[in-house]
Amino acid sequence: MEPSQRFAALVATSGEHLPLDEAAVLIAACAEPDLRSGAVMAQLDALAETCPGYTLDALVPHLFGRGGFGPDRSDYYDPRNSLINHVLERRLGIPITLSVVALEVGRRIGVPMAGVGMPGHFLLQDKVDRSVFIDPFHGGQLLDAQGCQRLFHQLRGAETSRNVTRELREREREAGPRPRHLQQLALAGRRQVGGAEVVAPEADVRDERLVGDRVVV
């Protein structure tokens, strides 16, 4: 079975217990068929094993401080920024792939987070204290809802009347957040794997994060 078929089957059958690391590897394997999933999993395991603590306060600087994970400011649309293996090797990525790394390392050490598709960006939310959001693209900066609103204004100044704080609360109430951000990950990687070939079931290709053939997350 081709990686794209395995990806679609995985998303269709996993429900809320979707193995995000495996799904990210399958997206990357569509672009690089010789990719060994075991190597990617081992890198995620190593990041978890070397984390100095089992809290969000330990995880964030471990990845986005000492660990050196951050944005590729020289070329945001470099294809490697959408593929988990290259993100782990280069420690550079886009918001969605940096978030996937944090989510999976956090899962391994018992730090529960959720992905939040803020308009025009992608954040993480602490599942213990849901008033806390994390911005992997900006050094793991911690934000509250008002901070998210300010960030949105910085990114999308022309839409300053939009109430992002309310939207974040609404999205928090929605069931099954993992399929939503897996769809965004698939969209982020699809330029590398032949257009719409790799799209999670029921993905909305009209998502506002798409600008032409570019994904803004």
Percentage of residues of the chain with pLDDT beyond 90: 50
Please report which confidence band the pLDDT of residue 165 belongs to, taking 50, 70 and 90 as the band edges: low
Of 72-81, 186-195, 197-206, give the range with the top mean pLDDT: 72-81
- Contacts of 32 by beta carbon, 8 Å cutoff, 6+ apart: 83, 85
Q: Torsion-angle region of residue 52: left (phi > 0), alpha (psi -120 to 50) or beta?
A: alpha
Predicted pLDDT at 150: 85
Taking only the tens place, the pLDDT of each residue in 69-117 is 999 999 998 989 999 999 999 999 999 999 999 999 999 999 999 988 8
Sequence ranges of the domains in the chain? 3-111+176-215
In this predicted structure, the answer to whether residue 144 has a pLDDT above a threshold of 50 is yes
**pLDDT, averaged across the chain:** 79
